[in-house]
Amino acid sequence: MSSATYEDRNEKKKAGGTMAATTAARPTAAETKHLRRGERSKGASVLLHGGLIIASFVAAFPVLWIAWISLGPDKNDFLHPGGIAKKMSLSNYSFVLQHTDFLTWFGNSLIVALGTTLLGVFIAASAGYAVSRMRFPGHRQLMWTFLVTQMFPIAILIVPLYNILAKLDLLDTYWALILAYCTTAVPYCAWLLKGYFDTIPMEIDEAGRVDGLTPFGTFYRLILPLARPGLAVAAFYTFLTAWAEVAFASTFMLSSDKYTLAVGLQTYISEHDTQWDLMAATSVLIALPASVFFYLVQRHLVSGLSAGASKS
C-alpha cells in the first residue's frame, strides 16, 4: 500500500518535472530572467551534480580499488598499482577458485546467510505484526527489549553463548551461526517491520476477519503480500548481517570445512605473509552476491527503511 503511494508520488514528481521542463524550454522574456519555482540556476545544478559525483566517487573508490588490485598477478602489485594495467590477468581468481577452499567457504556462507534470512525475516515479521496490530500485555516491553538487544556488546555474550551452543551440541554447525545471527538481526527487523505494518490500513485486516480468516490467515494471505517492500528491506539487512559477520563466525566455527568467507579470508593474513593479491580477488568474489542481492531490493529500500524508522 505504502509503496504504491510512494510510487505515485514519484510519478507525480516526474510528471511535474517534465511539465516544468517543457514550459521552461519555451523561451519567453520573463522566464529567461526569473526562475520559476522549483527550478534551479545553472550554477546550482552544477553544484548539485558536482557534490553527488564527488560523493559517488568516495563511495565507490574502495570497492573499485580492490577490484583493480585483484587483477594484478603478483603479491606486491598493490604497491605499484600503476603497473597493473600492463599485466592485467585473472590468475588470482583462477588460483582462488581452484587451489583454495573458497567454494566450500562460499557454500557455507550462503547456507548460513540464506538460512538466517529465511528464519529471521519470518519470525521478525510475525512478531512485528503482533506488536503492530494487537494490544496485548507486554507489547511495550517487547519493543523496549528489541531496542535493548541492539545494545548488547558481543564481548559479554560471546563466551556464555559459546558455552550454551557447546551444551546444545551446536558448535561447528550451521545452526550455531544462524541462531546467533538471528539474535542480532531479528530485533531490528521486527522494529522495522512493525513500522511498516503500521502503514498498512487496519481496514484490510478487518475485511479479512469479516471474510472468515483467522488472525494468522489475515497475516499470511493479506498483510505479508502487501508488506513486500518492508520484507525486502528486512531480508536485505538480515542477509548482509549474516554475510558480513566476523566475530561469531570466527569463534563458533572450528573446523576449516565449516568456515564462512569472513573467517576464511583471514587465513590469507595469518598463514605465511599477507597475500594481498589473493585476498583482493576473494574480496571481489565475496562482494558480488551481496551486490546482486542489494541490486534486487534497492528499489524498495527507501520506502521500507523510512516507514520502519518513522513509525516505530
Partner 1 sequence: MTVAAEGGAARVRPPGPISRIKQSYNKHWYAWAMVAPVVLVLIVLVLVPLVRGIYLTFTDATSDNVGRTIGVNHIPDTFKWVGFDHYQEILSGGDGQFWPHFVWTIVWTVVCVTLHYSIGLSLAMMLNRKLRGRTFYRVVLILPWAVPTFVTVFSWRLILADDGGILNSALGALHLPEPGWLSDTFWQRVAAIGVNTWVGVPFMMLSLLGGLQSVPAELYEAAEMDGATPWQRFRHITLPSLRSVSSTVILLGTIWTFNQFVVIFLLFGATGGEDAQILITWAYRLGFGQMPRDYAGSATYGVLVLSMLLVFATFYRRWQARGEQGGLR
Q: Find the DSSP H helices in the chain.
A: 2-25, 29-33, 42-69, 91-99, 102-133, 139-150, 154-167, 174-198, 202-210, 215-217, 224-226, 228-244, 247-252, 261-270, 276-311
The piece of 24-32, 97-105, 201-209, 236-244 that touches partner 1 (CB under 8 A) is 236-244
Sign of the torsion formed by the C-alpha atoms of 175, 123, 105 and 76:
negative
Site for partner 1 in 245-264 (CB under 8 A): 246-247, 251, 262
Cell triple for 19: 511539465
Residues 6+ apart with CB under 8 A from 168: none
Neighbours of 111 (CB within 10 A): 14
220 binds partner 1 (CB under 8 A): no
- For residue 83, give Cα distances in angstroms to 27, 73, 77, 91, 281: 53, 11, 7, 16, 17
Q: Give the nearest distance from C-beta 213 to partner 1 in angstroms.
A: 12
55 binds partner 1 (CB under 8 A): yes
Angstrom distance (rounded) from CA 233 to CA 125: 12
Binding-site size, partner 1 (CB under 8 A): 103
97 binds partner 1 (CB under 8 A): no
Site for partner 1 in 124-163 (CB under 8 A): 124, 126-127, 129-131, 134, 136-137, 139-140, 142-143, 145, 147-161, 163
92 binds partner 1 (CB under 8 A): no
193 binds partner 1 (CB under 8 A): no
Q: Give the nearest distance from C-beta 204 to partner 1 in angstroms.
A: 17
Neighbours of 253 (CB within 10 A): 24
| Nearest to partner 1 of 226, 280 (CB atom) | 280
265 binds partner 1 (CB under 8 A): yes
Cell triple for 292: 546482486
Site for partner 1 in 63-82 (CB under 8 A): 63, 65-66, 69, 78-81
179 binds partner 1 (CB under 8 A): yes
The piece of 25-33, 93-101, 204-212, 215-223 that touches partner 1 (CB under 8 A) is 215-223
**What is the contact mask toward partner 1 in residues 277 to 306, using x (rule: CB under 8 A)?**
--xx--x--xx--xx--xx--x--xxxxxx
Site for partner 1 in 12-31 (CB under 8 A): 13, 17
Q: Give the nearest distance from C-beta 46 to partner 1 in angstroms.
A: 11
229 binds partner 1 (CB under 8 A): no
Sign of the torsion formed by the C-alpha atoms of 212, 217, 221 and 223:
positive
Angstrom distance (rounded) from CA 188 to CA 147: 7
Answer yes or no: are the C-beta atoms of 233 and 188 closer than 8 Å: no
